[in-house]
Amino acid sequence: MYLEPPSDCCGLAFLCGLFHASGEIQIKDGKQVAYILTDIQEIYSFVNKIFNNLYGDFLALEIEDDYKINQKTYYRISLPSERTSKILKDLGFIDNEGIVDFSGRIDEYIIKSECCKKSFVQGAFIGSATSSIRLSEEANKKTNTGYHIEFTSHSHNFLQGLSEILANFNIFPKLIQRKNLFVLYLKDASQVSDLLALVGAYNSVLELQNELAVRELRNKVNRQTNCLNANISKTVEASLNQLNAINTIESTIGLDSLPSDLQEVALLRLANTEESLDELLKLSKIKLTKSGLNHRFRKIIKLAKELEE
């Protein structure tokens, strides 16, 4: 994320994205009350700096201990009561007539530039994004976990607008409804990596890229091993078929009855029962290609089948 609070326009976009994702607006005693509810303690200091830069004021912080129920501690970051209406209007939650807009519509003025779009995504990411990415702790440890990041909200408009913003950065999530919530999610590893880079989570990007490299290497080794095993199985099966045919001929008409060219390869196989055709050619002085050697063995197998019939 930002090392320093962003510029005014981007700071406003960040607050807007965060408020859309985890903000609440209530009417108490005829007055508007607005706050951000989060379980991330570090958010307050950063958001407070942005707010102070924009409005020369500070946000109030309250701790709500909900540990017994949800195993979490929540932090309520409240807007100053005397400035709430102005701030909500700046963020696009109150229209020119003073009516609070609960639709989840994202004010186009807030995200008019690319840098502000990026800041809005960062705020939304901090406010409502969750991830089920689990990286391998060891290079040789296999994980079946995929790559998944999602934003959840009760507002379809907000997530639809966020999806359109992400499309500007060639990130294309899917939007679904899950019970009473809407979910905007990514499962493609490269898209997840792009989103992490967009919000400034560069360490996570490096870890994910490393994980992708490890998994690709593991998959390559597995493919090569499977291919090698398959080749070994084919070699063994071919050798057994050839030996069975040679033994059938030996026990019926004898190998001496074979033409010299077939007798030559039959004896070669009997002397090297486990070798591949390539190895047989290297071990012998027979001037044949691999195809030619295989052709002679096929003749032997055909003859053995005729004798068995």
- Which residues does 79 contact at the CB level (< 8 Å), separation at least 6? 34, 35, 59, 87, 88
Backbone angles phi, psi at 170, to 5 degrees: 60, 35
CA of 179: how far to CAs of 18, 147, 182, 191, in Å? 23, 22, 8, 25
Sign of CA dihedral 215, 132, 63, 42: positive
pLDDT band, very low/low/confident/very high, at 287 (cuts 50, 70, 90): confident
Query: Would you say residue 229 has pLDDT above 90?
Result: no
- Give mean pLDDT, residues 267-294: 85
Query: Would you say residue 127 has pLDDT above 60?
Result: yes
User: Is the residue at 179 inside a domain?
Assistant: yes
Q: Are residues 56 and 132 in the same domain?
A: yes
Of 200, 231, 258, which residue is a domain's last? 200
Spatial distance between the Cα atoms of 120 and 20, rounded to a whole number of angstroms:
9
Q: Kindly state the tokens that stand for 187.
A: 């499962």
Q: Are residues 224 and 175 in the same domain?
A: no
Q: What percent of the chain has pLDDT over 90?
A: 31
At 139-155, the pLDDT tens digits run 444 444 467 899 999 99
Q: Are residues 88 and 151 in the same domain?
A: yes
Query: Would you say residue 138 has pLDDT above 60?
Result: no
Of 200, 229, 252, which residue is a domain's last? 200
Tell me what pLDDT residue 4 has. 58
Tell me what pLDDT residue 78 has. 92
User: Is the residue at 212 inside a domain?
Assistant: no
User: Is the residue at 205 inside a domain?
Assistant: no
Give bridge partners of residue 133 from the DSSP assignment. none
Q: Are residues 156 and 285 in the same domain?
A: no
Give bridge partners of residue 131 from the DSSP assignment. 149
pLDDT band, very low/low/confident/very high, at 134 (cuts 50, 70, 90): low
Tell me what pLDDT residue 171 has. 95
Q: Are residues 176 and 103 in the same domain?
A: yes
Tell me what pLDDT residue 12 has. 92
Look up residue 107 and give its DSSP letter: P
Tell me what pLDDT residue 146 has. 63
Q: Are residues 92 and 162 in the same domain?
A: yes
Spatial distance between the Cα atoms of 286 and 288, rounded to a whole number of angstroms:
6
Query: Would you say residue 47 has pLDDT above 50?
Result: yes
User: Is the residue at 2 inside a domain?
Assistant: no
Q: Are residues 194 and 225 in the same domain?
A: no
Question: What does the angle CA 184 – CA 193 – CA 41 come to, to the nearest 5 degrees?
Answer: 70
At 58-115, the pLDDT tens digits run 899 988 776 555 677 888 999 998 889 899 999 998 887 778 887 889 999 899 999 9
User: Is the residue at 214 inside a domain?
Assistant: no
pTM comes to 0.66
Q: Are residues 17 and 69 in the same domain?
A: yes
Out of 11-25, 199-213, 294-308, which region has the weakest mean confidence (pLDDT)? 199-213
Tell me what pLDDT residue 79 has. 92
Spatial distance between the Cα atoms of 227 and 173, rounded to a whole number of angstroms:
36
Q: Are residues 288 and 156 in the same domain?
A: no
Q: What's 146's domain CATH number? A: 3.10.28.10
For the chain, what is the domain count? 2
Sign of CA dihedral 249, 255, 257, 258: positive
Q: Are residues 156 and 243 in the same domain?
A: no
User: Is the residue at 178 inside a domain?
Assistant: yes
User: Is the residue at 15 inside a domain?
Assistant: yes
Specify the amino acid at residue 102.
F
Spatial distance between the Cα atoms of 277 and 236, rounded to a whole number of angstroms:
11
At 154-190, the pLDDT tens digits run 999 999 999 999 999 999 999 999 988 999 999 888 8
Place of tokens 């409502």: 128
Residue 269 belongs to what domain range?
Answer: 219-308
- Give mean pLDDT, residues 269-298: 86
pLDDT band, very low/low/confident/very high, at 9 (cuts 50, 70, 90): confident
